[in-house]
Amino acid sequence: MTRAAAILVAGLLSLLSWPVLASVTYEFSGTAPSKYEPSVGHSFTFTTDDFITAPLSVAASSLDSCSVTSPANEWSCAEVDFGPASAGLAFDTIMFTAWGAGQSYGWEYVFAAGALSTPGTHSFVPFGELGPTSGQLTVSVPEPTSLALLTIGFSALGASRLRRKLRT
C-alpha cells in the first residue's frame, strides 16, 4: 500500500470515531383568535441539540426568531412551552404565550403524538371553538451524510495532492 493510500485510510478511520453532532430545528407558524381580535399570527424558530422528549419552556430571548402579527393590537413574544406525549399526554403540544392588550395570552396547539420527535412537517389537530385555526410545525435535522461526503471529498483531494507531491 502506498503512503498516500495509508494516510487516506487512517484519515477515514479517524472520521468514523468522531461523534456526529446534529441539531434539531423547530419551525412553527400558526393562527388563532384571541379575546380581543379574530386572528393573531404566531411564528418561531428554535434550534436545540436533540429532539424535545420532556416538557420544555423556552423564553422568547432563547428562540432563534419569534413574531406575533395582529391587525388590531401590538403583541410581543413571551415564551413557548413544548409538551411531548411522553410527558403523560396522548398528543404533543406547543403553548405559545405572548404579551398584548395589557396582559399575557396563550394559545395551545395540539399535534399528533411524536410530532416533536419526528422530522417532517406536521399539521395541528383542531379542537374547541376558540382554538387555533391553523398551525404547522416543521422539524428538521441536518443530514450527517452531507458532512461525511464533504469530509471524504476533501480527504481525497488532500491525498491526491500529497501523492502528486511525493512523485516530484
Rounded-to-integer distance, Cα 149 and Cα 162, Å: 20
What pLDDT is stored for residue 33 in this prediction? 84
This prediction's pTM: 0.71
Domain assignments of the chain as residue spans, ordered by start: 3-19+145-167, 24-141
Enter the DSSP assignment of 132: -
Residue 24 near residue 47, CB atoms below 8 Å: yes
Answer yes or no: is pLDDT of 164 > 50: yes
3-state DSSP assignment of residue 58 = strand
Q: What is the 3-state secondary structure (H, E, C) of 62-102?
A: HCCEEEEECCCCCEEEEEEEEECHHHCCCEEEEEEEEEECC
Residue 151 near residue 12, CB atoms below 8 Å: no
pLDDT, tens only, 103-149: 888 888 999 999 999 999 999 987 666 677 889 999 998 766 666 67
Share the mean pLDDT of the chain.
82
